[in-house]
Amino acid sequence: MATPFGKKIASRLAAAADSLKEGKNLEDRFTCKTIRLDFEPNDYGPDEVKAVREKLRASQAIFAQVLGVSANAVRDWEQGVKSPGGSSRRLMDEIDDDPERWIDWLLDLSATPVAQ
């Protein structure tokens, strides 16, 4: 059974579809907005990668797990062999912005018993 909110969404989508079938301009009937956001992550050279990792107080292996990459990737970044990609840079931005939050998160994870 659909929720009232779900019914409202379905009704509005049906109205939009009907307007399209009738060849109507959707902007005349509905509020249409285009939003552009600048979410380009910072660039990270070897020193910056290491600085963020050290803010987290993590080894290269743990930092790699946080970022979802290999420890070799982190080593390569810190040695200047390669540069981190967009999603890793975005996550490093978040860690750099609030390292205490991420440290707390890691501490919570380390306190969780591992199932055998």
pLDDT digits (tens, 9 = 90+) for 10-59: 888 888 888 888 888 877 777 778 888 878 999 999 999 999 999 999 99
Query: Can you tell me which residue has the tokens 């992550």?
Result: 41
Q: Which two tokens stand for residue 5?
A: 């909110």
Residue 115 has pLDDT above 70, yes or no: no
pLDDT at residue 19, as a whole number: 85
Residue 1 has pLDDT above 60, yes or no: no
Domain ranges (residues) in the chain: 1-36, 46-111
Picking from 72, 74, 97, the residue whose alpha carbon sits closest to that of residue 84 is: 74
77-105 confidence digits (pLDDT tens): 999 999 999 999 999 999 999 999 999 99
E strand spans, 18-80: none
- Domain 46-111 fold is 434 Repressor (Amino-terminal Domain) (1.10.260)
pLDDT at residue 102, as a whole number: 96
d(CA 91, CA 111): 23
The average pLDDT across 59-70 equals 96
